[in-house]
Amino acid sequence: MTYYGSIEAGGTKFFCAVADEQLNIIERINLPTRSPKVTLDEVFAFFDTYPLIALGIGSFGPIDVNSKSSTYGYITSTPKPGWQNIDLLGSLKERYQVPVAWTTDVNAAAYGEMHLGAGKDTESCIYLTVGTGVGGGAVVNGTVLQGFSHPEMGHISVQRYPGDTVESACPYHDNCLEGLAAGPALEKRTGIKGQLLEATHDIWEIEAFYIAQALMNYTLTLSPEKIILGGGVMKQTQLFPKIRASLERQLGGYVALPVLEDYIVGCDLGDNSGTMGCLLLAKEKCEIKSDEFVS
Amino acid sequence: MTYYGSIEAGGTKFFCAVADEQLNIIERINLPTRSPKVTLDEVFAFFDTYPLIALGIGSFGPIDVNSKSSTYGYITSTPKPGWQNIDLLGSLKERYQVPVAWTTDVNAAAYGEMHLGAGKDTESCIYLTVGTGVGGGAVVNGTVLQGFSHPEMGHISVQRYPGDTVESACPYHDNCLEGLAAGPALEKRTGIKGQLLEATHDIWEIEAFYIAQALMNYTLTLSPEKIILGGGVMKQTQLFPKIRASLERQLGGYVALPVLEDYIVGCDLGDNSGTMGCLLLAKEKCEIKSDEFVS
CATH assignment of the domain containing A179: 3.30.420.40
pLDDT of res. A59: 98
Residue B216 lies inside a defined structural domain of this protein: yes
Alpha helices in chain A (DSSP H): 36-47, 88-96, 105-116, 177-181, 183-190, 203-222, 239-251, 260-263, 273-287, 291-294
Which residues, other chains included, contact B173 with Cβ-Cβ below 8 Å and sequence gap of 6+? A252, A254, B155, B157, B179
Asked if A77 is an interface residue toward chain B (Cβ–Cβ < 8 A), one would say yes
pLDDT of res. B289: 55
Question: What is d(CA A111, CA B90) in angstroms, rounded to the nearest whole number?
Answer: 35
Q: Which residue of A has its CA nearest to B124?
A: A147
- Residues in B closer than 8 angstroms to A149, CB to CB, are 223, 255-256
In this complex, do B253 and A172 lie within 8 Å of one another by their Cβ atoms? yes
Nearest to B140 among A77, A140, A251 (CB): A140
- Residues in A closer than 8 angstroms to B159, CB to CB, are 157-160, 175
Residue B243 lies inside a defined structural domain of this protein: yes
Which residues, other chains included, contact B280 with Cβ-Cβ below 8 Å and sequence gap of 6+? B23, B56, B111, B112, B115, B116
Nearest to B145 among A153, A173, A223 (CB): A223
Beta bridge partners of residue A27, listed in sequence order: A18
Q: Which of B76, B47, B250 is nearest to A158 (CA)?
A: B250
For residues B132 and B76, membership in a common domain is answered with no
Question: What is d(CA A241, CA A247) in angstroms, rounded to the nearest whole number?
Answer: 10
Count the domains in chain B.
2
Measured between CA atoms, how close is A263 to chain B, in angstroms?
10
- Residues in B closer than 8 angstroms to A177, CB to CB, are none
Using 50 as the pLDDT threshold, list the residues of chain B that sit under it. 290-295
For residues A127 and A69, membership in a common domain is answered with no
For residues A129 and A238, membership in a common domain is answered with yes
Alpha carbon A26 to its chain's center: 23
pLDDT of res. A286: 85
Question: Which range marks the domain in which residue A85 is found?
Answer: 3-105+271-294
Strands of B264-266's sheet in order across: B143-144, B134-140, B125-130, B227-230, B264-266
Q: A164-196 as b/e, with b when 16 or more CB fall inside 10 Å?
A: eeeebbbeebebbbbbbbbbbbbbebeeeebee
Question: What is d(CA B6, CA B8) in angstroms, rounded to the nearest whole number?
Answer: 7
Asked if B236 is an interface residue toward chain A (Cβ–Cβ < 8 A), one would say no
For residues B122 and B251, membership in a common domain is answered with yes
For residues B180 and B255, membership in a common domain is answered with yes
Measured between CA atoms, how close is A81 to chain B, in angstroms?
16
Residue A227 lies inside a defined structural domain of this protein: yes
Q: Which of B244, B295, B265 is nearest to B102 (CA)?
A: B295
For residues A144 and A239, membership in a common domain is answered with yes
Asked if B44 is an interface residue toward chain A (Cβ–Cβ < 8 A), one would say no
Asked if B112 is an interface residue toward chain A (Cβ–Cβ < 8 A), one would say no
In this complex, do B152 and A255 lie within 8 Å of one another by their Cβ atoms? yes
CA neighbours closer than 13 Å in the CB half-sphere of residue A293: 16
For residues A262 and A286, membership in a common domain is answered with no
Query: Please, what is the angle between helix A203-222 and helix B203-222, to 10°?
Result: 90
Asked if B66 is an interface residue toward chain A (Cβ–Cβ < 8 A), one would say no
pLDDT of res. B295: 38
Kind and range of the H or E element at B284? helix B273-287
Which letter does DSSP use for residue A201 in this model? -
For residues A173 and A58, membership in a common domain is answered with no
For residues A282 and A245, membership in a common domain is answered with no
For residues A156 and A29, membership in a common domain is answered with no
Asked if B140 is an interface residue toward chain A (Cβ–Cβ < 8 A), one would say yes
Kind and range of the H or E element at A5? strand A3-9
Nearest to A175 among B76, B159, B222 (CB): B159
In this complex, do B136 and A221 lie within 8 Å of one another by their Cβ atoms? yes
Residue A110 lies inside a defined structural domain of this protein: no
Question: What is d(CA B206, CA B212) in angstroms, rounded to the nearest whole number?
Answer: 10
CA distances (Å), B93 to each of B28, B54, B62, B102, in order?
20, 10, 20, 11
Measured between CA atoms, how close is A175 to chain B, in angstroms?
9
- A27 three-state secondary structure: strand
- A75 three-state secondary structure: strand
Which residues, other chains included, contact B245 with Cβ-Cβ below 8 Å and sequence gap of 6+? B208
pLDDT of res. A289: 55
- Peptide bond connecting B99 to the previous residue in cis, omega within 30 degrees of 0: no
Give me the phi and psi of A111, to 5 degrees please: -65, -45
Q: Which long-range contacts (CB under 8 A, 24 or more apart) does A170-173 make?
A: A171/A79, A172/B251, A172/B252, A172/B253, A172/B254, A173/B252, A173/B254
Query: Please, what is the angle between helix B273-287 and helix B105-116, to 10°?
Result: 80
For residues B252 and B151, membership in a common domain is answered with yes
For residues B62 and B142, membership in a common domain is answered with no
Residue B113 lies inside a defined structural domain of this protein: no
- Surface-to-core class of residue A81, CB atoms within 10 Å of its CB (0-12 exposed, 13-18 middle, 19+ buried): exposed
What pTM was computed for the model? 0.95
pLDDT of res. B294: 42
pLDDT of res. A153: 98
Using 70 as the pLDDT threshold, list the residues of chain A that sit under it. 289-295
Q: Which of B262, B277, B295 is nearest to B55 (CA)?
A: B277
Which residues, other chains included, contact B125 with Cβ-Cβ below 8 Å and sequence gap of 6+? B110, B113, B114, B118, B119, B138, B139, B224, B225, B226, B227, B228
Nearest to A222 among B124, B221, B258 (CB): B221
Interface test with B, best of A75, A143, A156, A178 (most B CBs within 10 A): A156
DSSP, residue by residue, B36-57: HHHHHHHHHHHHTTS-EEEEEE
- Residues in A closer than 8 angstroms to B134, CB to CB, are none
Residue A112 lies inside a defined structural domain of this protein: no
Q: Which long-range contacts (CB under 8 A, 24 or more apart) does B188-194 make?
A: B189/B164, B194/B232, B194/B233, B194/B236
- A104 three-state secondary structure: strand
Asked if B149 is an interface residue toward chain A (Cβ–Cβ < 8 A), one would say yes
- Residues in A closer than 8 angstroms to B175, CB to CB, are 159
Measured between CA atoms, how close is A194 to chain B, in angstroms?
25
Q: Taken in order B211, B212, B214, B215, is the CA torsion positive or negative?
A: positive
In this complex, do B150 and A223 lie within 8 Å of one another by their Cβ atoms? yes
Residue B110 lies inside a defined structural domain of this protein: no
Q: What is this model's ipTM?
A: 0.95
Asked if B78 is an interface residue toward chain A (Cβ–Cβ < 8 A), one would say no
CA neighbours closer than 13 Å in the CB half-sphere of residue B113: 34
pLDDT of res. A281: 98
Q: How many CB atoms lie within 10 A of CB A21?
A: 11
Report the length, in residues, of chain B. Answer: 295
Q: Which of A171, A199, A197 is nearest to A183 (CA)?
A: A197
Report the length, in residues, of chain A. Answer: 295
- Residues in B closer than 8 angstroms to A123, CB to CB, are 147
Measured between CA atoms, how close is B211 to chain A, in angstroms?
13
Residue B145 lies inside a defined structural domain of this protein: yes
* A-B contacts at Cβ under 8 angstroms: 136
- Residues in B closer than 8 angstroms to A258, CB to CB, are 148
CA distances (Å), B189 to each of B154, B162, B201, in order?
19, 14, 12
